[in-house]
Copies of this chain bind each other. A is one copy, B any other.
Amino acid sequence: MNITYLSDDILSMESKYRASFINSLGGFKSVVLIGTINANKQENLAIFSSLFHIGANPALCGLIFRPISEPRHSLDNILETKEYTINHLNKKIYKQAHQTSARYDKSISEFNATQLTAEYIPGIMAPFVKESKIKFVCKLEQKIDLKINGTTLLIGKIIYVSLPKKCIKTDGFIDIEKAGTITLSGLDAYHKTNKINRLSYAKPNSLIKNIPF
Contact = CB atoms under 8 A, between A and B. Distances in A.
Interface of A: 1-7, 10, 13-32, 49-62, 64, 67, 88, 91, 94-95, 98-105, 108, 113, 134, 136, 141-142, 144, 146, 148-149, 151, 153, 155, 158-166, 168, 171-177, 181-183, 185-204, 206, 208, 211, 213
A21 B171 CA distance: 8
Nearest to A100: B202
A101 to B, nearest CB: 5
Kindly report how many copies of this chain are found in the complex they form together.
2
B61 A26 contact: yes
A27 B176 contact: yes
Given A27-B176, A55-B67, A192-B193, 11 more contacts: A3-B164, A4-B161, A7-B160, A13-B172, A25-B161, A28-B193, A55-B149, A94-B197, A95-B208, A102-B203, A188-B200
Contact of A27 (B5, B30, B168, B196): B30
Contacts of A176: 24, 27-28, 185-186
B19 A56 contact: yes
Nearest to A51: B26
Given A163-B3, A189-B198, A202-B102, A24 B151 contact: no
B16 A204 contact: no
A18 B59 contact: yes
Nearest to A95: B208
Contacts of A28: 28-30, 176, 181-183, 193
Contacts of A5: 160-162
Nearest to A101: B202
Contacts of A144: 144
A203 B53 contact: no
Contacts of A148: 54-55, 58, 60, 141-142, 155
